[in-house]
């Protein structure tokens, strides 16, 4: 019998990756204005990729 591995983590990571910058821009406009794409990518790689 083959065991199917279910990946519960990836869909949430994809949603965060897609919408996190928009969330920051909407709720934290001043902070978002000071961030660069590199800052967001660094945050993502340090905190969300496992």
Return the pLDDT at 49.
61
Return the pLDDT at 38.
78
Return the pLDDT at 12.
83
Listed as ranges, residues in the chain with pLDDT below 50 are none
Return the pLDDT at 26.
93
Enter the pTM of the model: 0.53
Return the pLDDT at 27.
93
Return the pLDDT at 46.
76
Q: In the chain, what are the domain boundaries?
A: 11-47
- Provide the H-helix boundaries in 1-50: 9-27, 29-34, 37-47
Return the pLDDT at 2.
63
């Amino acid at each position: 019998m083959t065991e199917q591995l279910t990946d519960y983590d990836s869909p949430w990571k994809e949603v965060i990756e897609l919408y996190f910058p928009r969330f920051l821009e909407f709720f934290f406009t001043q902070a978002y204005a000071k961030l660069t794409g590199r800052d967001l990518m660094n945050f993502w790689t340090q905190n969300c990729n496992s």
